[in-house]
Amino acid sequence: MSRHVAIVTDSTAYLPRAAIERHHITAVPLTVVLGDRALEEGTEISARSLAQALQKRSPVTTSRPSPGMFAETYRKVAAAGAEAIVSLHLSSVFSGTYDAAVMAAKEAPVPVQVVDTGMVAMALGFCALAAAETAEAGGGADEAVAAAQQRAAGTAAYFYVDSLDYLRRGGRIGAAQALFGSALAVKPILQLADGRIELLEKVRTASKAIARLEEIAAERAGEGQSQGKGKGGGQGQGKGEVDIAVHHLAAAERADALAQRLRERVAGLRELHVSEVGAVIGAHTGPGLLGVVVSPR
């Protein structure tokens, strides 16, 4: 294998399998603990099984990959010919995954740059793709990191959940916010900001919340296109191209309908991915999740 920079991420990026294979990205799995069973995300537990367990209120927790798992991954990638590795991971606010990768990087046989992207789901996935495309174009590790960080800076993630209770139980949102939402029976729209989940708006019904989610995503995509046009060049050739991902958990019809509406509304749409989130994110959001990631190129 010729000299190259390898890209490693984790299973919460929820990258399409075709993209992982095309760009030779390695995704290290997080673990879902269901009852007394520890299962690797993506291979040993499906989103459907997780949704069923949550609906039955079975105990579900998640855990990071071990430093040893990262160390083995870095050894394998180096043995395959990589001379440097860029390891991109979900927000350190959500998980100890970044810390585990940092520990393993110290003993890796080739230089490893570990990045806390502050992102999750395809917000992280788009960062990994940006890094991989830069490396494939001949860029070094520093350039791949810069490409990922630039993509993260412009990416926004919004999502709707049927209930804040799962986020509260997992410690991903404050108890006061969760109780406030439950008491008023509001449907929350949340956003990813500074690596944290924040309550963005409160809407009275699910249908109105989903319509508002669409509006927010379309508006953000339009802003990204305007910014791209103003640059007059660079990635996307100044056309303001934007990628969008629509995520869901046990809400495929909602997700497909939302994706179709965004496809019709967003000019300059380059790629649109629709996928069910994996078990790790699903464990903290619960069934009914509907999310949109907007990532200008």
Q: Concatenated DSSP letters for the chain?
A: --S-EEEEEEGGG---HHHHHHHT-EEEPPEEEETTEEEEBTTTB-HHHHHHHHHTT--EEEEPPPHHHHHHHHHHHHHTT-SEEEEEES-TTT-SHHHHHHHHHTT-SS-EEEEE-S--THHHHHHHHHHHHHHHTT--HHHHHHHHHHHHHH-EEEEE-S-SHHHHHTTSS-HHHHHHHHHHT-EEEEEEETTEEEEEEEESSHHHHHHHHHHHHHHHHHHHHHHHHHHTSTGGGGS--EEEEEEESS-HHHHHHHHHHHHHH-TTEEEEEEEE--HHHHHHH-TT-EEEEEEE-
Mean pLDDT, residues 17-40 taken together: 89
What is d(CA 41, CA 12) in angstroms, rounded to the nearest whole number? 8
pLDDT tens-digit map of 153-198: 999 999 998 877 777 665 555 544 544 445 456 788 999 999 988 8
Burial 99-120 (b: 16+ CB within 10 A, else e): ebbbbbbeebebebbbbbbbbb
Residue 71 reports pLDDT greater than 90: yes
Residue 238 reports pLDDT greater than 50: no
Instruction: Tell me the domains of the chain and their CATH numbers.
Output: 5-30+65-153 (3.40.50.10170), 156-296 (3.30.1180.10)
Confidence grade of residue 2 (pLDDT, cut at 50, 70, 90): very low
What's residue 234's pLDDT? 36
What's residue 1's pLDDT? 34
Residue 252 reports pLDDT greater than 80: yes
What is d(CA 289, CA 248) in angstroms, rounded to the nearest whole number? 5
* CA neighbor of 157 nearest in space, from 195, 211, 128: 195
What's residue 239's pLDDT? 54
Residue 268 reports pLDDT greater than 50: yes
Q: Which two tokens stand for residue 73?
A: 């991954």
Mean pLDDT, residues 82-104 taken together: 96
Mean pLDDT, residues 77-93 taken together: 96
What's residue 185's pLDDT? 63
